[in-house]
Each structure stands twice: as C-alpha cells, then as structure tokens.
Amino acid sequence: MTVVPIADGLFTWPADEPSLLGSSCDACSHLSFPVRPGCPRCGSTAATVRPLGRHGTLWTWTSQEFRPPSPPYTGPGDDRNFEPYYVGYVELPGELRVEAHLTDFGDDRPVIGQPVELVVVPFAENADGDTVVTYAFAPSKEVVAHD
Amino acid sequence: MTEVAIVGVGLHPFGRFPDRSAIEMGAMAARSALADAGATWQQVQFAFGGSYEVDNPDAVVNLLGLTGIPFTDVYNGCATAASALSLAAQTIRLGEHDLGIAIGMDKHLPGAFTSDPVQYSLPSWYGDLGLFLTPKFFAMKIQRYMHDHGITPASLARVAAKNYRNGALNPNAFRRKPLSEEAILGSRMVNDPLTQYMFCSPDEGAAAVVLCRADQAHRYTDTPVFLRAAEVRTRRLGAFEVHSPSTPLEPADAPTVDASRAAYERAGIGPEDVDVIQLQDTDAGAEVIHLAENGFCADGDQEKLLAEGATEIGGALPVNTDGGLIANGEPIGASGLRQVHEIVLQLRGTAGDRQVPNRPRVGYTQLYGAPGTAGVSILTT
C-alpha cells in the first residue's frame, strides 16, 4: 500500500515534522497559502516557496455535520456512514490564518484560542488503493512552560 | 445627473414549482412588474437579466416578445441581482435609455451549492477535502463573531423565528409556518453553531423591477420609489471571505461595509434615516453580522436589540419584513430583486399584514455572496 499526499507542493512530505508550503511574493513580501501564481496584494507573479510554521492557535471553527457534495468532495464513505468532523482557521503567528481540518479532538469541542499543531493524517483511499494523506491541525502536544 | 425611479415591481412566488421552468417564472415576474407600472413590454428599451442556473436569461424574450432591445445577462453569485439593478440604474443615469427592466430568475435543486473550485481560481484539493462549501464559512464567521462580541445562540434563534413569523404573513414566501425558538435551536446541527432551521435553502422563483428616469415616473405611477444608490463591491485583501484557503492577519472591512458606505455617500442618507431594511440572511448569523456591517448598530449591540424586538416589523429597525432568505429561500438571480420588491411595497404602504407602521420613507437592501461580493441599494419615497 502506497501513501500519497492529497496534492503535490501543498506540504513537505515525507517528513518527520511536515510543514505547509506558502509563497512569499518577491515584489512585496506578501505571504500566501497555498503557493499561488499571482500575489493577491500586488499582482506580481514572482514568488519564493517557503515552509510555514507548524504551531498556531485556533482562530475559529465549526463542525461539518453533513457530507459535502461529491464531486468535488473525495472523502470516505457515503451519506449514510458519514462521520462529522471539525474544520477551522488556524492563526500561524506572524504569518497568516490557514483553513484546515481539525483532528484528534476526541469528545472535546474546539476552543477559540487553543494551541494546535500541524499533523499529516490519512484522509481517504484513492481508486488505485493508495492511502491519501492530508494536512490537519490537532490539539498541541507541546508542553507549554509556565513561569 | 438623471435620477432613477422604480415604477413597477413583480414577483413569481418563491418555493418549489416542478412544472414550471425558471424562464417561465422570469416572464411571469416581468409581466407582473410591467402591469404594476402600467407599461408594456414594447415600451421597454433595455433589460438586465440575472441567473445562476439559466445560461441565457435573455431567452425570456421568447415569452415576452422579440423586440430587439439590448438585453444583458449578469451573474455575480448571491449578489447577482445587485449587479442587474446597479447596471440598470447606471444605464438610466447615463442617459442611454429612459425605461428598462431588471429580471432575476432561478431554479435550484435542494442542498448546499457546489461547483468546481478550479473555476474559482482555487486548487482541486480544496474541493477534495470538502472545504469548497459556503455553509461552514458562514458558521465560522458567526462563531468568531459570537466569541468576540458576546452574541448567544438564543439570538440566532430569535432572528430565524422572526423571519419565519414574517414569512407566515407573506403569501409569496416559501416557508410560511412559524417556528419556535426552541424548535430552531433543537433542530439538527448543520455547522456549529448553526442548526438546520437557521439556514436558508436554495429554491425557485423570479422577481422583476421596472425602472425609468425619475422625471418620467409620473407617466407610470403616482407612487414612484426613487433608487438613490445601488452599489456593488468585491472583497479587499484582509477581509474574511468565503472560499479562502488562507486569510492575512491584517484585517480589512467586509465588502458589505464598503458597498454600504458607498451607498450612503451616494444617497446622502445615513443609517439613522433608514426605516425598513432587507439584509442577506443566508443564515441567522449573517443577519446578526450584517446589522453591524451596514451601520445599523455597533458590534455586539445585536444581543440587546434582538432581545428587545428591535428588528421586528413594529420595532425601530425592521429587518426582513417579508421573511428574508430564511423564509423565502434563495433563487440566486431573483433574491435581491425580491428584497427591492418588498421595500417598494413597504414604501408605498401596501405591504398588508406585514406593513411597517408610520409610513416608512427610506428603505435599504443588502446582498452578500461568494466569492466575496456585496451589493447595497437605498430607496426613498
């Protein structure tokens, strides 16, 4: 069984500590995610790809309690066995806010402001039987030092 | 500059009509608006038509008459009708023509809208992951807003209950059954904090508005309504918008705020002057946020205003007196012209059971939709 990322150039993979890939505009330094061919601030097409930070805080969230229309959704199952999940925007300090699936919350509701970290998790199986993996954010496992 | 008057409005009821095409509904709304204006299709000099599902809204001329007029089709997501109205008004202001019509029509299947993210300049993976969806965006926007400004789920239920109540008074509405706040809060969770009955549904319907030079309005009606502003704006970098894989840390105002300010400036009218309001209530949270984005209250004041009933038909800020999108559903091309239809009835004093008391003189409409487009109009007696 092969493990394939949901898209090339979206996050560093394989990697022990994967990072999302953004693009920094060569003309105005505006940071974008995902890597894109035109800067939303100045319109320049020259940009440099760079990894984004792996840790952030939850800026907002919701639950997805119906199966998104397919296509375009390629997640597992069908309307009868759909498992709801959380999505949110994660604020990466000094960079930007990224939209992502939230994972490993168990029975806990997400809380705005809570620390989260980037993980790569199985998403679905493709037509070739490969496991497709995607990026997501999980509650931070880092122990935060308190003085 | 030439001023613009609305002299006729028409509506095909919103709902489900298995035996009728969107084009037929558009023609019926147009005939109704023309009859309201006492005008004939042969007098109409130009038209704008808006639809999501219909490739060529201008094909409605097959049913209305092949008169050879310029008929321009427009589409701007949920703000489609704002574009049709704004362009029709500009055509008259510029002196190009004296009498025209804006027509909106649509016929959607039930369920959340979807399409190909690549057509929105978004990567395919965004759709693969189930992120190319509008309901969860609206849920995330109100979730953050509630956190920042102390809005409770009870207020969301109040908004939805008010709109169902108003819809029950509107014979053209899709949903005409009042629902209690308890039933709304207790319905199936769709995208936390928004439950099933806090969302509008895509449906079917059509609406039309006949516009003319203000100095010719007396030829058609004794009760013209003047279109003082019809502004459309798209998102600026930093606004938190639907279909965004990322958003910058530095915030910018929403396109609704930009369209609203431009409309107030053009009209020379402020939010304190407005007597009756139509807001884009894609969901109950959107109506809460749009109250502030359009200048009708400060962020967070909605909690108190809603508890006091300020947005009810008899309140100080009557909002969505015809039930809004929540009770009418959203045939995209027609939705904004339905808003104008309601404001015109209210300003004429002919809104029947849902008439705002004390003869309102200033009305306001606002649309918002993907991928971050807003339209605002201001109308006066």
pLDDT of residue B114: 74
Q: Is the pLDDT of residue A37 over 90?
A: no
The 10s digit of each residue's pLDDT in A81-99 is 999 999 999 999 999 999 9
The CB density around residue A81, as the number of other CB atoms within 10 Å, is 8
**Residue of chain A with shortest Cα separation from B139:** A62
Residue A33 identity: F
CA distance A39 to chain B (A): 10
- Name the residue among B242, B255, B297, B241 with its Cα closest to residue B83: B255
pLDDT of residue B64: 98
Query: What is the arithmetic mean of pLDDT over A107-131?
Result: 96
CA distance A77 to chain B (A): 13
**Residue of chain B with shortest Cα separation from A66:** B190
Cβ separation A69–B112 shorter than 8 A: yes
Cβ separation B140–A69 shorter than 8 A: no
Residue B144 identity: R
The 10s digit of each residue's pLDDT in B256-286 is 999 999 999 999 999 999 999 999 999 999 9
Query: Contacts of residue A59 in chain B, CB cutoff 8 Å?
Result: 144
In the structure, what pLDDT confidence band is assigned to residue A1 with cuts at 50, 70 and 90? confident
Query: Contacts of residue B136 in chain A, CB cutoff 8 Å?
Result: 62, 64, 87
Alpha helices in B38-114 (DSSP H): 61-64, 80-93
Q: How far apart are CA B166 and CA B303, in angstroms?
A: 20
The complex's ipTM works out to: 0.95
Quick check: B280 and B292 in contact, CB under 8 A?
no
Cβ separation B114–A33 shorter than 8 A: no
Query: What is the arithmetic mean of pLDDT over A11-23?
Result: 95
Cβ separation B140–A62 shorter than 8 A: yes
pLDDT of residue B161: 98
pLDDT of residue A144: 57
Partner residues linked to B167 by β-bridges: none
Q: How far apart are CA B60 and CA A4, in angstroms?
A: 50
Q: How far apart are CA B158 and CA B304, in angstroms?
A: 11
Task: Tell me how far CA of residue B1 lies from CA of A31, A134, B94, B263, B336, in angstroms.
Answer: 44, 56, 8, 16, 25
Q: Is the pLDDT of residue B116 over 90?
A: no
Q: What class is the B4-110+199-380 domain?
A: alpha beta
What is the average pLDDT value for chain B, to the nearest integer? 97
Q: How far apart are CA B15 and CA A54, in angstroms?
A: 47
Q: Is the pLDDT of residue B73 over 80?
A: yes
The CB density around residue B133, as the number of other CB atoms within 10 Å, is 25
Query: What is the arithmetic mean of pLDDT over A57-73?
Result: 96
In the structure, what pLDDT confidence band is assigned to residue A147 with cuts at 50, 70 and 90? very low
Q: Which residue has the tokens 């007696």?
A: B381
Q: Which of A68, A95, A112 sits opposite B147 (nearest CB)?
A: A112
Query: What is the arithmetic mean of pLDDT over B172-182?
Result: 98
Query: What is the arithmetic mean of pLDDT over A126-141?
Result: 95
Query: What is the arithmetic mean of pLDDT over B207-222?
Result: 98
Query: What is the arithmetic mean of pLDDT over A35-47?
Result: 93
Q: Which letter does DSSP use for residue B199 in this model?
A: B
Q: Is the pLDDT of residue B47 over 60?
A: yes
In the structure, what pLDDT confidence band is assigned to residue B2 with cuts at 50, 70 and 90? confident
Q: Is the pLDDT of residue B113 over 90?
A: no
Query: Contacts of residue B192 in chain A, CB cutoff 8 Å?
Result: 61-63, 65, 109
pLDDT of residue A143: 61
Integer-rounded Cα radius of gyration of chain B:
19
pLDDT of residue B131: 96
* Backbone CA torsion sign across B166, B167, B168, B172: positive
In the structure, what pLDDT confidence band is assigned to residue B144 with cuts at 50, 70 and 90? very high
Q: Which residues contact B333 (CB under 8 A, 6 or more apart)?
A: B22, B49, B50, B51, B52, B53, B54, B57, B75, B80, B81, B84, B104, B105, B106, B206
The 10s digit of each residue's pLDDT in B283-331 is 999 999 999 999 999 999 999 999 999 999 999 999 999 999 999 999 9
In the structure, what pLDDT confidence band is assigned to residue A141 with cuts at 50, 70 and 90? confident
Q: Is the pLDDT of residue A47 over 70?
A: yes
pLDDT > 90 fraction of chain B, expressed in percent and rounded: 96
Q: How far apart are CA B354 and CA B357, in angstroms?
A: 9
- Where in chain B are the domains? 4-110+199-380
pTM: 0.96
Q: Which of A32, A60, A74 sits opposite B144 (nearest CB)?
A: A60
